[in-house]
Amino acid sequence: MKALTTDDCDRNDVYAAACPCRDMLDLLANKWSALAIGALEDGPVRFGVLKNQLQGISPKVLSSTLRKLEEHGLVDRTVFAEVPLHVEYSLTPLGKSAGAPLAHLRDWVEENMTSPV
């Protein structure tokens, strides 16, 4: 993955291959990302709880999903060095703002599958 900056395109345009916002679209336009961000909207959630909430996700995939979200500044990871050790994931302000469009998407899906033909 090349390191792109906004200089690579005049204006942010998801239809432009070189635009860095493609990376962000690719990140968010993903089943697990959309579900994870939704699950974090009500406040910090621990790894194990997320794993139960996102039914069917494996720990490895959850781990990599969260890491990608963290790298893009959408999620914060906080370690509590207690016993037993636990970790809380929470949305950054940016992550919170991304929650709205993703919630629309999840809602649309749920509302438009009532009659799956």
Partner DNA sequence: GACAGTAGTACCCATTGGGTACTATGGACG
Partner DNA sequence: CGTCCATAGTACCCAATGGGTACTACTGTC
Taking CB under 7 A as the criterion, which residues in 40-99 touch DNA?
A: 46-48, 56-61, 63-64, 67, 77, 83-87
CA distance to 1, 14, 18, 86, 106, per residue, from 21 (Å): 13, 6, 9, 33, 21
- Please give the residue ranges that form the binding site for a second copy (CB under 8 A): 5-6, 11-22, 24-26, 28-31, 33-35, 38-39, 53-56, 73, 94, 97-98, 100-102, 104-114, 116-117
**Binds 107: which of DNA, a second copy, none (CB < 5-8 Å by kind):** a second copy
Q: How far is the CB of 31 from DNA (least distance, A)?
A: 7
Using alpha carbons only, give the angle 48, 54, 58 rounded to the nearest 5 degrees. 65
Q: How many residues bind DNA (CB under 7 A)?
A: 22
Calpha distance 73→66 (Å, rounded): 11
CA distance to 2, 21, 25, 65, 115, per residue, from 9 (Å): 14, 10, 15, 27, 42
Chain residues in the site for DNA (CB under 7 A): 1, 30-32, 46-48, 56-61, 63-64, 67, 77, 83-87
